[in-house]
Amino acid sequence: MASSSSSSPTNHLIIYFFLLFLSSQTKHASSSPWSLYACYRYIIGFGDSLADAGNLHILYPSNPPRFMDLPPYGETFFHHPTGRCSNGRLIIDFIAQYLNLPLVPPFYNEKNSSVKGSVNFAVAGASALPDSFFLSRGVAIRQANTSLSDQLGWFKNKYLPKFYQSPEDRQNLLDSSLVLVGEIGGNDYNHALLDGTSKDLVGTFIPEVVGAISSTVKELIQLGAKTLMVPGNLPIGCSATYLSQFKSSNKSDYNPKTGCLNWLNEFAQTHNKLLRAQLDLIQKENPHTDIIYADYYNAAMRFFLSPQKYGFSKGALTACCPKCGPYKLDNPDAKTCDVPSQYVNWDGLHLTEAAYSIIAKGLIKGSYTIPQIETTCANHMFNRSYPTPPRIAL
């Protein structure tokens, strides 16, 4: 969704041949497409536990430690817990590696000091809406929540003033950054549904949640962001935690191909449909900004439909670590699996590194970004003049 000048047949042909050229440049590359690395030298991330690389751990120390701060979290790639809610890397980590960039560090870290360049503001448990919204609806708050507006405030009021004081420096950062707004919004529904709030009431949250995400996207554009990737919700009806809590004796409640709960996946699709509609409106209002919708739902649905095809020999609906996570599953004899890569579900609510890898690859190298990110990058190359940065070894 670049500017209107890219819509002519001549420009489409130019972009097509340019992409062919870039493709030829990547045949001997060690990792990601040179084209994407040239476009996006930094990643600025916002979100919840699907993207948190350690902010919650530092922001809100806990004694005893939280579940993600204990083994077996982090065992597969880092070999120790990092604050990530998985056995290894997350989608944002894989996107960084596909772009040949270092892993994006959390804004808050062990030294309590952030690093200039790529930065991750995501916090596990975060919601798009503030606590005041949920309290006004009679929804209990388990603990103080970090909202999307809080994360945006850190970016505007702490990060930019510290590292990018001049307008020129800020614009250079935002011109060459891929800004990931999410995934966010899932917890606005998760916390309420899993604590017993009626699905009808939670359904009324969707316009408010999408509105909060849309407002953040607009504010980031006003700050100078040029490329924003905004993910939709995952198929939550395939979550082991939801399947455990909302068991039904009615077979028609389940999808016969996946075993997932229909009403929960329909709920996620309603959120995604409204989010896409809002992003389309924002795109029309900002034709010189690229807004990319990341279709997490369908990128993930592939392995729920055909788990064996993607290497998940233990299926897609069974949690590798059923006693982990904030919502323990109901099998008292369950044990942590030996090979997490054979599972989609990690702890019932979060996915394994293997599942996140497939989603991320579908975004960067597949067709699960709308528009496709390589086309967006090609438009950048024609409309902006960037020096070619040095490659970073992984």
Q: Tell me which residues are annotated as active site.
A: 49, 347, 350
Helices and strands of the chain, counted as H and E runs: 16, 6
CA distance 185 to 208: 10
**Amino acid identity, position 213:** I
94-98 long-range contacts, CB within 8 A, separation 24+: 94/356, 94/357, 94/360, 94/361, 94/364, 95/43, 95/178, 95/180, 95/360, 95/363, 95/364, 96/43, 97/31, 97/32, 97/394, 98/31, 98/32, 98/36, 98/360, 98/361, 98/364, 98/365
What is the per-residue DSSP string for 140-159?
Answer: --SSPPPBHHHHHHHIIIII
Q: Which tokens belong to 59? A: 């922001």
Give the E-state strand segments of the chain in sequence order. Answer: 42-46, 119-120, 177-181, 227-231, 290-294, 369-370
- What is the crossing angle of helices 373-383 and 9-25, to 10°? 110
Of the candidates 147, 120, 125, the one whose C-alpha atom is nearest the C-alpha of residue 46 is: 120
Would you say the C-alpha torsion 380, 230, 217, 167 has a positive or negative sign?
negative
Q: Which tokens belong to 79? A: 């070999």
Of the candidates 178, 122, 179, 91, the one whose C-alpha atom is nearest the C-alpha of residue 362 is: 91
